[in-house]
Amino acid sequence: MAQTTKIREGEIWAVGGGKGGTGKTFITSCVGTYLAKKGKNVVLVDMDIGGANLHSFFGISRPQKSLTSFFEKGASLSDLVVKTDLDNIALITGDIHSIASDKITFSQKLKLFRQIMKLNAQNVVIDLSAGSHNNTLDTFLIADRMIVVLVPEVIAIENVYHFIKNSLFRKVKKTLKEYGFKEIAQHIWDRRQNYGINNLKELIDYLKDSFSYIGTILDHELASFKIHLVLNMVRNNNDILLGASIKSVMMKYLGVPIQYSGFIEYNDAVWKSVREGRPFMLNYLATGCAKQIEIFVENMIKGKDVSLPVGF
């Protein structure tokens, strides 16, 4: 059982993370541009409510259409698609001034998800708001490929751990609720000390071991919960190797299969491309940064981890 059912061909990709400033929007724009260059029909959706600026990466200064019309006027999502100057890529801007993420109603959210799934595109790539609000997590969870962007900073690492943990817990609770077990996961988690549970992986293992029917449900529903990690703004080998360490930590404490799909070096050309209003993957294709983005996307598609370099 599920609240939303995928009813079209193609894939939904969502780009999230624990905090702002990690380069989620830059990654979203680059992933979309690369897919479009490969001949895919792409629609980018800016769901960074309150801080939407994906349009600026494509030289669109004042969007004529935005999600404001969807939430305030009931406009169809397909009617809000804005063409860009690039072939095969269009944009739904998130220039919303009158609604906050936590004010989106349940019915609005379900309507949004249904219409995202109906968009006429081979790839829909969603740029999410920072943080772990339930609406952000639910949008992340409808994706076929869940991408998490991280920068090599202590606070960012802590935040991305909490983002993935909250996403997984949200998935577990929603799944069990849909199968008629409304509050069992939250009930046991709130009393985890009584059960000797120290982390989310141990909670899931406890549920599987204690209730065989729940174990079957979770094995089936969590099989698709796979995170694609990209490490942004790296400067040296230690930064790059951090991705492998995070992968191990996530498996140990969350039991989550992380694919370390790629890393992207710090490059001043990124902010230059934004200032110029031209997509980075067109203006700076010869840079190492652009090559690393291509590798990252191809690794995601092929299900491969990035090859860790000997030198940088």
Give the pLDDT confidence score for residue 34 in this predicted structure.
96
- As a whole number of angstroms, the distance between CA 193 and CA 303 comes to 37
- As a whole number of angstroms, the distance between CA 286 and CA 294 comes to 11
3-state secondary structure 158-216: HHHHHHHHHHHHHHHHHHHHHCCCCCHHHHHHHCHHHHCCCCHHHHHHHHHHHCHHHHH
pLDDT in tens, 172-211: 999 999 999 989 999 999 999 999 999 999 999 999 999 9
Give the pLDDT confidence score for residue 10 in this predicted structure.
81
The ranges of the chain with pLDDT < 70 are 1-9, 95-102, 309-312
Give the pLDDT confidence score for residue 127 in this predicted structure.
96
Q: If we measure between CA atoms, which residue out of 291, 283, 238, 284 comes closest to residue 262?
A: 291
Give the pLDDT confidence score for residue 44 in this predicted structure.
97
Angle formed by the axes of helices 200-210 and 154-178, nearest 10°: 20
Q: Give me the DSSP letters along 53-73.
A: -GGGGGT-SS-SS-HHHHHHH
Q: Which CATH architecture has domain 11-152+226-302?
A: 3-Layer(aba) Sandwich (3.40)
Other CB atoms within a 10 A radius of the CB of residue 147 amount to 28
Contact 127, 46 (CB under 8 A): yes
Domain chopping of the chain, boundaries: 11-152+226-302
- As a whole number of angstroms, the distance between CA 169 and CA 198 comes to 14
Give the pLDDT confidence score for residue 2 in this predicted structure.
44
- Using CA atoms, how far residue 225 sits from 1, 102, 307, in Å, is 16, 24, 23
Q: CB pairs under 8 A, 24+ apart, for 83-88? A: 84/58, 84/60, 85/58, 85/59, 86/33, 86/36, 86/58, 86/279, 86/282, 87/36, 88/36, 88/37, 88/39, 88/40, 88/41, 88/42
Give the pLDDT confidence score for residue 274 in this predicted structure.
81
